[in-house]
Amino acid sequence: MAKQSPTRTRPGDGVASPVEERLAQLSAQFDLLKAQVRQAQQLANLGTAAAMLAHEVNNLLTPIRAYAEYALTSDDHELMRKALTVTTNNGHMLIAMSSRILEISAAKPRKTEPVAVRAVVEDALASLCRDLSKDGIDVSVNVDESLTVQADPLQLQQVFFNLFLNAREAMSASHSGRLTVSGTRNDRTVVIEVRNTGDPIPPELLPHLFEPFQTSKPVEREGRRRCGGLGLALCRDLIEENQGTIRVSSTLGESTTFTIALPAVPTTTS
């Protein structure tokens, strides 16, 4: 009987070689790890904001408890009605706050669509669950409601959430400052600027700011070491996934500006 020669895989045969199969497996593992790191960073950002969130929850719960306890000791029906009204209103705000927190930490498949920039900016500000004016920060959003980009709305919200959280921290020492968000359209591109008047970024750090583990923040807080420098790397990753770019400039005594460029939604002509 004639000896059969072993089957060899040649280009164009439609059968993956062991090396190609292994590369495909490694690629899938890398994508999974990347998604897990992204999810961990979003949870870490919420951890950074935990004290702020706890303070706002307490502000909503305190009047609920006070009115309820007082109403229980009184036969005043008007007071009972007021207690129920406060409980209902603050309960709605607590539910909305919880929904925002769950949304900002969600890991969902990427889906691009026309996104109104102003609406996403306002959602990201709401996700902080605290009015920045309470921290002495004046917020100005100069973005036309008609300005739209082609992007994943949740990913864009996560980028703004990170930038706003960083801006708040940069201005927290002085308990004052200004956060300005502006947007313009230039041909096929929308340019969004997020500017804050907080502490400047050291010049030697600027070229590396979007690299993992590069941070201008203290590596320790209240005696505890923390992992920093992943938020801006995540921002760059998300913006680039949406076919955009992000860069930063910082001037001592003036401001720090993050500039994002994203594809504009094509205008329709009748």
How far from each other are the two terminal CA atoms of the chain, in whole angstroms? 76
For residue 161, name the pLDDT band (cuts at 50, 70, 90).
confident
Angle, alpha carbons 114-120-270 (nearest 5°): 30
Q: HSE of 86 in the Cβ direction (CA atoms, 13 Å)?
A: 19
Angle, alpha carbons 245-236-202 (nearest 5°): 100
DSSP code string of 19-70:
HHHHHHHHHHHHHHHHHHHHHHHHHHHHHHTHHHHHHHHHHHHHHHHHHHHH
What's the whole-model pTM score?
A: 0.66
Please tell me the predicted confidence (pLDDT) of residue 2.
52
Query: Rounded to an integer, what distance in angstroms lies between the CA atom of residue 134 and that of residue 102?
Result: 24
* Interhelix angle 77-104/18-48, nearest 10 degrees: 150
41-99 per-position pLDDT tens digit: 666 666 656 665 676 677 678 778 887 888 888 888 888 888 888 888 778 777 776 77
Domain ranges of the chain: 49-102, 110-263
CATH topology of domain 110-263: Heat Shock Protein 90 (3.30.565)
Please tell me the predicted confidence (pLDDT) of residue 222.
45
